[in-house]
Amino acid sequence: MKLSANEEYGLRCLVRLAYAGFEERALTIPEISQAEGVSPAYAAKILRVLRKGGFVKAARGKEGGYTLARPAASIRIGDVIDALGGRLFESDFCDSHAGQAPICTRSVDCSVRSLWRAVQVAVDQVLSKTTLRDLLQNEEEMNSWVRTIPGANGLRLIQ
């Protein structure tokens, strides 16, 4: 249960593109690569995932580059993370972790499964209510905003 590199870099790239969108500007792979400190080839690989997910669009050739495919406010971070790193508790998780048994021997009635669902719901609670637009604020604004998420009341962000 760890954030993946794809999730981290992918989201950072999107935020950058959203900012560039304010000035109607496209960003090229070299630009993004340098801004995030990753290799151009790796940036390209990440951008491809974002393009296939429908979050950004690309223009080729001179004067080309990447822009958001739709307004930042309509891009749910939950969807972005799904595209970049899959779900925490995939629907086939129990099937694929059944070892040699046909399925978790407790599968008809499994409290562990119930716990994973609860964790997944808790994560979705935050991610599905956050849009790319919400990430275009400074950290402090973001901290207060996140506390207003219903179901996440009382979250304490001091770590």
Give residues 22-41 in contact with DNA (rule: CB under 7 A).
Answer: 27-30, 38-39, 41
Of the ranges 17-25, 62-70, 117-125, 134-142, which one interacts with DNA (CB under 7 A)? Answer: 62-70
Q: Does 83 bind a copy of itself (CB under 8 A)?
A: no
131 - beta bridge partners?
A: 76
Amino acid at 11: L
Question: In whole angstroms, how large is the CA radius of gyration of the chain?
Answer: 19
Block residue for tokens 């999107």: 14
Residues lying near ligand FES in the complex (CB under 6 A): 12, 94, 104, 106-107, 110, 112-113
Q: What are phi and psi of 93, to 5 degrees?
A: -60, -50
**Helix 40-52 and helix 29-36, axial crossing angle in degrees, nearest 10:** 110
- Contact of residue 20 among ligand FES, DNA, a copy of itself, none (CB under 5-8 Å per partner type): none
Q: Does 16 bind DNA (CB under 7 A)?
A: no
Q: Does 12 bind DNA (CB under 7 A)?
A: no
